[in-house]
Amino acid sequence: MVGGFGRFQWIHVTLISLPGLLMASQNLLNNFTAGIPAHHCRILVNSTHYNLSNYEVPEQLLQVFIPLDASVPVCVGRYVQPQWQLLANGSANVSDAQTESCVDGWTYERTEFLSTIVSEWDLVCNLRPLKQMSQTVYMGGVLAGAIIYGGLSDRFGRRSVLIWSYFQVACLGSCSALSPSYSAYCIFRFLTGMAVSGVILNGVSLKVEWIPTKTRTLVGTLTSFFFTFGQLVLAGLAYWLRDWRKLQVVVCAPHFLCFAYSWWYSESARWLVLKQRSGEALKSLHRVARINGKPEMTEKITLEVLQSHMNKEIESSRSSYTAYDLLRTGGMRRISVCLLAVWFSTSFAYYGLAMDLQKFGVSIYLMQVIFGAVDIPAKFFALGMLTYFGRRVSQATCLLLSALIIFANIFVPSDMQTLRTTLACLGKACTSASFTTVYLYTGELYPTVIRQTGMGFASTMARIGSMAAPAVLILDEVFPALPSIVYGGAAVVAGGFACFLPETLNVPLPDTIEDVEDRW
């Protein structure tokens, strides 16, 4: 009655989607802020004795002070006494030479990165696990945000929590760049991760609840391109700046602009009606009608008309809902359990592939561009699948295809790096298509009265998956193919669970738990 997908929806969806350009930067930032530059022990030599500067040693002289043999781990350190004979005979036997740890710190190359948290706080050798710990802490914040902001949104509204989340990302994300220590950095990243969850989850719900049923697939897929292009933006910014503090500010400060314009958003009319705030819902609908060029509808849409259309939902909403209601009834329980498996596996495989770009042996900036660009055909693939085959088939197909590609990569010899990289890109494309599908699918499966709690509950498993993914890489010390087996196996299991979800193609959004039980 207020114009379907009109001018208001175009503006509304675009403004909510714009921060997606920077959401990819937040989730994948660790590839660049925690990149590991080439490094070696710092050499402090007596300039009067060796006629060298105190801190800079010519490259050809490094072999005199540091074991450069590729078979010798960099953490071995340096020779206790310089091995001058290596200048005359580079193959001289120095296996008996004594070494010591890097007591004077490290020297880092500044070609690929000018500065990272690794070079700032010497997170190498024994401290190397702290590099990945910063990403795990961030994802822990995203997990906490999914739990906390999901419930707050159903209580205080999508718009209010979304506005606050923008402000929190802008402030605390920028503060991360001022961190004086690794501990402070992790605290700020955790709090930023919480806010990122608030932005993503509330943005999805506020978009879905203001657009007509038939346009949900197209809008959901096209707006996910903002995240895809955000990966390309991240590669460009990281290549340009190459300094972790500057990069941190540049990807967080623009959220102040999002905070400024977000006051234009209209609160979900569905949510307002179900919270017994029909008067405010009516004002929102009248505003949308005027923006969409249908001012005459402001006379036809009255409080009585609104309440008569949503009488059943209003009666149902008089009850309060908790996370327990996601599992209390049969239909809701089936949906929730299946979605938990799908979210976990999708995130698990996605971040397992996307968060270790330095292992491919080519420029990390180029790999970020390739991994971002491969999402573009993946989104179109998802759009076609969602439109013609429905949500259930699309979700199961994306997961099973990603598993097949991950398993195939196990049998490719390690010296065929190009083929291995190509298969990794295809696997990442399938998991990206799975992400596109599950965000839209989850919003359509859960009823309005508890949709945001459901989104938070389901995406909680995604955050657990993203936290677990880096840890699984350690298993390659046990058996090189083991991480791939774990990633692929999880995708197969989730693909099976996806087959038990109900289809939602061209089905109106459910508003109450009773709608879900009656329909599915």
**Taking the alpha carbons of 429, 233, 262, 321 in that order, is the dihedral positive or negative?**
positive
Q: Is 192:173 a contact under the CB 8 Å cutoff?
A: yes
Nearest in space to 264 (alpha carbons), one of 511, 18, 449: 18
> What pLDDT tens digit does each residue of the chain (520 aa) get?
666 777 888 888 889 888 888 887 888 888 888 888 877 777 765 543 455 544 444 656 676 777 765 545 556 567 777 766 666 665 666 666 777 777 777 778 888 888 889 888 888 877 877 887 888 889 889 888 887 887 788 788 888 899 999 999 999 999 999 999 999 999 999 999 999 988 988 888 888 787 877 777 778 778 878 888 888 899 899 999 889 899 999 999 999 998 998 888 888 777 787 777 778 877 877 787 877 777 776 667 777 776 666 666 666 655 667 778 888 888 889 999 999 999 999 998 888 877 666 666 678 888 888 888 888 888 888 888 888 898 999 999 999 999 999 899 888 887 787 888 888 889 888 998 998 889 888 888 988 878 878 877 887 788 888 888 877 776 766 777 788 888 889 999 999 999 999 998 888 888 888 888 888 7
Distance (Å, rounded) from C-alpha 470 to C-alpha 188? Answer: 20
**Taking the alpha carbons of 120, 126, 132, 138 in that order, is the dihedral positive or negative?**
negative
CA 123 vs. chain centroid, Å, equals 23
Domains of the chain: 39-108 (no CATH), 274-317 (no CATH), 325-519 (1.20.1250.20)
Distance (Å, rounded) from C-alpha 201 to C-alpha 214? Answer: 21
- Contacts of residue 395, Cβ cutoff 8 Å, sequence gap at least 6: 342, 434, 437, 438, 441, 495, 498, 501
> What is the chain's mean pLDDT, rounded?
81
CA 66 vs. chain centroid, Å, equals 40
Compute φ and ψ for 107, nearest 5 degrees: -115, 130
Distance (Å, rounded) from C-alpha 265 to C-alpha 281? Answer: 13
pLDDT tens digits, 74-90: 565 677 777 666 666 65
Nearest in space to 134 (alpha carbons), one of 169, 165, 179: 179
Distance (Å, rounded) from C-alpha 329 to C-alpha 520? Answer: 11
pTM for the model: 0.77
